[in-house]
Chains A and B, each alone.
Chain A
């Protein structure tokens, strides 16, 4: 599965009706594009960090299908102008092949969270490999993570050239704000890669921590 995630930031003074019109356009194109196997377009929840107002996440069969979709008239005529014409204050974008994953629970609804990041200059391949190993080890210890995927960015734009995408699904927000955040595997091990006070610090401080409710799972067994 090839994926595209865009975090959409509207100008603060953008009227609600205008926002809704933009979102409806993106929703229509997503729903009507045969190449889009699954998509999610939802407002973010309070507490995100550089997470945008909306998460727009699309899945394609493969990278060829993704590129074909972007070349089709609906995308060129309706989507591209929105991202070229100042509709958004800014947006963060990353396209990627789905990586290592665990799909354990079919969820009818829940909370989708993605952490989009990049490595600091000088991070060694060995450090990055160990970071990825520990990050992907979280679901083994933190049971509130029902479905997950760790991927590498293929193309990116925005604040950084995003290199890593860490997605999870939870039954509810508490699964993220409670067990995920509070488990010692997180703050006692994984967070060292994010913590400038630790020698392991390799993850750039500028990252996107964002989440939203979903009505259709994008990481579960059927996704």
Chain B
């Protein structure tokens, strides 16, 4: 227990033609604070791998958080309270986004220990 890695995956579809601008905003405005809270950015992926100027790319940000449930609460949830970045998500980023989804995930082999609480 508590040694598991939780992967937090942001899947974001920016508005047509805004893929690169959103990527820059995410990396500059969101990522530094997330890293300060203990999240580690493992992968940044763009689909399709060409910047679309008349359509929407889909961006994937794969973060890892160490420490299982305690790690998630400490870095993502407890650490977010009063966070000014909430405003970024809902006021600054929102106009650039068609849709977004965040997934909390793990390796299948960690499910047994993560749920044994």
Inter-chain CA distance A52–B60, complex, in Å, is 42
Q: Are A196 and B80 in contact (CB under 8 A)?
A: yes
Inter-chain CA distance A195–B102, complex, in Å, is 10
Q: Are B69 and A195 in contact (CB under 8 A)?
A: no
Q: Are A191 and B117 in contact (CB under 8 A)?
A: no
The proximity string for B residues 101-115 relative to A, scoring 1 for CB distances below 8 Å and 0 otherwise, is: 110111000010011
Q: Are A196 and B89 in contact (CB under 8 A)?
A: yes
Residues of A within 8 A of B31 (CB): none
* Interface residues of B, count at CB 8 A: 25
Q: Which residue of A lies closest to B81 (CB)?
A: A205
- A133 contacts partner chain B, Cβ-Cβ < 8 Å: no
- B77 contacts partner chain A, Cβ-Cβ < 8 Å: yes
Known: A197-B102, A199-B101. A182 touches B117 (CB 8 A): yes
- B70 contacts partner chain A, Cβ-Cβ < 8 Å: yes
Q: How far is the CB of B59 from chain A (nearest CB, A)?
A: 14
Residues from 166 to 187 in A contacting B, C-beta threshold 8 Å: 178-179, 181-185, 187
Inter-chain CA distance A184–B115, complex, in Å, is 6
* Cβ-defined partner of A196 (8 Å) among B70, B72, B90, B115: B90
Inter-chain CA distance A187–B104, complex, in Å, is 8
Known: A182-B70, A183-B115. A196 touches B86 (CB 8 A): yes
Q: Which residue of B lies closest to A187 (CB)?
A: B72
Residues from 32 to 80 in B contacting A, C-beta threshold 8 Å: 68-70, 72-73, 76-77, 80
Interface residues on A, range: 10 to 19
The proximity string for A residues 186-202 relative to B, scoring 1 for CB distances below 8 Å and 0 otherwise, is: 01110110011111010
- B96 contacts partner chain A, Cβ-Cβ < 8 Å: no
Q: Which residue of B lies closest to A120 (CB)?
A: B90
Q: How far is the CB of B10 from chain A (nearest CB, A)?
A: 9
Residues of A within 8 A of B69 (CB): 181-184, 187
Residues of B within 8 A of A199 (CB): 99-102
A–B complex contacts, Cβ < 8 Å, 27 sampled: A141-B115, A178-B117, A181-B69, A182-B68, A182-B69, A182-B70, A183-B69, A183-B115, A184-B69, A184-B104, A184-B111, A184-B114, A187-B72, A187-B73, A188-B72, A188-B105, A191-B77, A192-B102, A192-B104, A195-B102, A196-B86, A196-B90, A197-B102, A198-B102, A199-B100, A199-B101, A199-B102
A-B complex: 4 closest residue pairs judged by Cβ atoms? A196-B86, A188-B104, A182-B69, A182-B117
